[in-house]
Copies of this chain bind each other. A is one copy, B any other.
Amino acid sequence: MDELKQRILSEGQVLSDSILKVDSFLNHQIDPTLMHHIGQEFARRFSNEEITKVLTVESSGIAVALMTGLALKTPVIFAKKKKATTMDKDVYVGKIYSFTRREDVYIAVAKRYLSSEDKVLIVDDFLATGEAAQGMLQIVEQAGAKVVGVGIAIEKAFQKGGEILREKGIRLETLVQVTNLSHGQVEL
């Protein structure tokens, strides 16, 4: 997706060989028009699927999911991050290992919003190690729902998340693949 590529190249900041900061348009300040186009692009790519719900995780996935749901005309669900101690039996729970926090984080979705009838598109702003996507897959699986695919705005193709999902046979659509950050600049 050329519009997103150009924004990454002009505004992305390489903070380390694995960290790309795009908080001027994607996940702190957001460009709503760009996000609208991202949502429309996911809707176009998955237009052959009968999607009933778009699922993401708070906070930075919400904008991507909302615009995708707007284009697909489906409800959007954002999984909430929780401490394990605050769980109740009315939620599906996924476990994510957070490399930045160096601890497990739990994400939860109320059971009444996902059922075995649902065909779910998982979306997120970034894919790196694939932890968040796998946590969401756990939730969809607990609901007995079907995953139609995973849509990612920016995939760090030098990390293993994409490979893990493809090996599971999941349809993965990424709008931009970052292939290298190790020379202080973004390679796409």
A contacts, CB < 8 Å to B = 23-25, 28-33, 35-36, 58-59, 62-63, 66-67, 69-70, 73-78, 80, 109-110, 112-113
Contacts of A29 in B (CB 8 A): 75-77, 110, 113
Min CB gap A104→B, angstroms: 18
Q: Are A70 and B23 in contact (CB under 8 A)?
A: no
Contact with A76, one of B32, B70, B80, B109 (Cβ below 8 angstroms)? B32
Q: Are A32 and B70 in contact (CB under 8 A)?
A: yes
A36-B70, A58-B58 known; A30-B76 Cβ under 8 A: yes
**A63–B36 alpha-carbon span in the complex (Å):** 12
Give the most central of A32, A35, A76, A109: most B CB within 10 Å. A32
**A158–B136 alpha-carbon span in the complex (Å):** 38
Min CB gap A60→B, angstroms: 9
Using A31-B75, A35-B70 as known contacts, list a sample of 12 further A-B pairs with CB atoms less than 8 Å apart, ordered by residue number in A. Answer: A24-B112, A25-B75, A28-B78, A32-B66, A32-B70, A35-B66, A36-B70, A58-B58, A59-B78, A62-B62, A63-B63, A63-B66
29 A-B pairs within 8 Å (CB atoms) are namely: A24-B113, A25-B75, A28-B77, A28-B78, A29-B75, A29-B76, A29-B113, A30-B69, A30-B76, A31-B75, A31-B76, A32-B66, A32-B67, A32-B70, A32-B73, A32-B74, A32-B75, A35-B70, A36-B70, A58-B58, A58-B59, A59-B59, A59-B62, A62-B62, A62-B63, A62-B66, A63-B63, A63-B66, A66-B67
Q: Are B32 and A69 in contact (CB under 8 A)?
A: yes
